[in-house]
Amino acid sequence: MDDGNHGEELRIGVYVCDCGRNIAGTVDCGVVTEFAQGLPHVVIASNDKYTCSEPGQEVIKQHIREHNLNRVVVASCSPRMHEPTFRAAIQQAGLNPYLLEMANLREHCSWVHINEPEAATRKAMDLVKMAVWRAALLREQKELEVPVERKALVIGGGIAGIQASLDLANAGYQVYLVEKEPSIGGIMAQIDKTYPTMDCSI
């Protein structure tokens, strides 16, 4: 493996999450944690019931400070689910949020190999290894800040578009409401009385 550590000593922390029984019901998280501990640059590997919980995040933050961690690998659910959570957590402990890597042990492993616990555990170890090797090469990134135009476009002038336009306009934003037909109103305008109030639609 390339040790491209960008000129610093790599200190990786790995956090294997049970997700209650969601992961630990299939994958042997103890074995995975032990395996992670033996991977290059891993300073500490720890196993938690719910890594995304407040105490779970607290453990990561504490370790970053105590062990001078400079990379964090969380082996839990899909990054599409909790990457923002853990990025924020490591940022609070002073690490650049891009120094986080996740291994998807839940959606891509425990939930889809329920009847093959041993194979699932082997796969989980691979996923953690992939994440650790990648984490070793991650770099700090700076996010670009852009100004936001304080105007909104609403496409469609039915009941939903009307409500959204009024809410935004009343909140103080300029709203452009684009409607295909010559009048707003949509399907709702064609309806006589509406449930549950049994009153007029327009």
Shortest distance in whole angstroms from residue 194 CB to another protein = 5
Q: Residue 50 or 133: which CB sits closer to another protein?
A: 133
Q: Cα torsion at 94, 99, 105, 107 (round to 10°)? A: 100
> How far is residue 41 from each of residues 34, 49, 97, measured CA to CA in Å?
14, 24, 19
Q: Residue 59 or 81: which CB sits closer to another protein?
A: 81
Q: Residue 61 or 71: which CB sits closer to another protein?
A: 71
Q: Cβ of 9: how many Cβ atoms within 10 Å? A: 9
- Calpha distance 158→171 (Å, rounded): 20
Q: Residue 65 or 80: which CB sits closer to another protein?
A: 80
Shortest distance in whole angstroms from residue 23 CB to another protein = 11
Shortest distance in whole angstroms from residue 75 CB to another protein = 13
What residues have CB less than 8 Å from 28, skipping those under 6 apart?
Answer: 117, 121
Shortest distance in whole angstroms from residue 135 CB to another protein = 9
